[in-house]
Structures are given as structure tokens and as C-alpha cells.
Homo-oligomer: A and B are copies of this chain.
Amino acid sequence: MGTASPSRGRNRRGQGDRLREEIVATALRLLEELGDDEALSLRAVAREIGIAATSVYLHFADRDALVLAAMERSHADLVRACDDAEAAAGGPVGGLRARVQVMGTWSHEHPGLYKVLHESTVNQRCDMSFKMELGKRTVEAVQRCMDADLAPAGDAAAVALDLRAAVHGAVSMRVNQPGLPWEPLEEQVDRLLTKLAGLRLP
């Protein structure tokens, strides 16, 4: 860790975006380790890649722009993982369950990115409204269960909000106090799905 890749050469003309990719990827790796956007230094990213610190400015206006780009990519990853899980499961109940479970496990498996995405101060400094997408899709998944009479009719938005809040909290507690003896996340999430959305799980 920390040693620059020795094979790094200048990119060909027109290939300058490759460095951009590498910067975002490295920022993501460091943010996952740090779990805090304010702890990420642009110099550390450059050091890791083996370029001059100033080269970051070729692609990003400032530190915040880099963090924001990393968060957009990270969030897109999470949304895709949830969509894939829902699509792979059969039916509305299995779909909602898969979606919410992956929301939990993805976050639990990427504790650092989870913290930066949801708990760090970028949220205050930058517009991160792209995060609303995930909430929207959760509401839709709940609504599909209600429409199919597989969940008690009610306010789908409220149910989805409760689910998100509860899973968010369950993950946050585990991520922020990793030393404590927690119940497996999947068990708790299934219980929350039962109680909050009224699902009947096998």
C-alpha cells in the first residue's frame, strides 16, 4: 500500500480520461478505508497513483468535486445492486425483500463508503440529490406488494420511509460500533420487513 505503480506512463492523446477514471477509483478505495470525506486528501490520492498532486486539477475543480464524483459512482453501484437483486427474485414480495436486504448488505460490506455517502459532511456542502433515486424505487417496490395484495394496503411512502430508516439505523449501529456482538443483519432486516411492511416471509 502506498507504493506507486511503477509502470505508469503518460496517457496517449485523447486518452486523458483514463487518469480521471484512475483518480475516481483510487478515491473510492481510500474513502472506503477512511470512512470520512474530510479525511481524504487529494495529495494522498495522487501519491497512491504515482502522479503529481497538481494533476488531479486536470480533471477536478477541487477536492469536493472529486469526492462528489466518487459518491455518484458509489451510489450508482448501490442502486444497480438493488435493482439486480429485485429483478432476480420472483414476485413483488421476494423483490421487495431482496431489494431491502441488498440495501443492508451492500452498506454493511462497504462500511466506509456507506459512512461517506450517508453520514459525512459532503451531504451538507454539496448537492447530493441523486440519492433520492433509491428512495423512489423502494416506494415503488412497496407499492407493488400492496397492489398485489401481498402487503396490507396503506401509505406506501410511509412504509418505505420506515423501512429505509430502520435498515439505515441497523447498518449504522453495526458500522459505527463494530466491536459489539450484533445479531446477523439479515435476520433483523427480515423481522423489520415483517413488522413494518406486513410481509409474510417463508
Contact = CB atoms under 8 A, between A and B. Distances in A.
Contacts of A86: none
Contacts of A192: 162, 165-166, 196
Contact of A35 (B118, B121, B177, B196): B121
A105 interface: no
Contacts of A173: 164-165, 168
Contact of A172 (B119, B161, B195): B119
A161 B170 CA distance: 8
A77 interface: no
Interface residues on A, range: 20 to 34
Contacts of A84: none
A110 to B, nearest CB: 16
Contacts of A123: 176-177
Tell me how many chains of this kind the complex includes.
2
Given A35-B121, A119-B115, A162 B176 contact: no
B169 A188 contact: no
A10 B173 CA distance: 43
A191 B154 CA distance: 13
B162 A166 contact: yes
Interface of A: 35-36, 38-39, 115, 118-119, 121, 123-124, 128, 131, 158, 161-162, 164-170, 172-173, 176-178, 183, 188, 191-192, 195-196
28 contacts: A36-B36, A36-B38, A36-B121, A38-B38, A115-B119, A118-B176, A119-B119, A119-B172, A119-B176, A124-B178, A158-B183, A158-B188, A158-B191, A161-B188, A162-B166, A162-B191, A164-B169, A164-B173, A165-B169, A165-B173, A165-B192, A166-B192, A168-B168, A168-B169, A168-B172, A169-B169, A169-B172, A195-B195
Given A165-B166, A165-B192, A169-B172, 5 more contacts: A36-B121, A124-B178, A131-B177, A165-B169, A168-B173
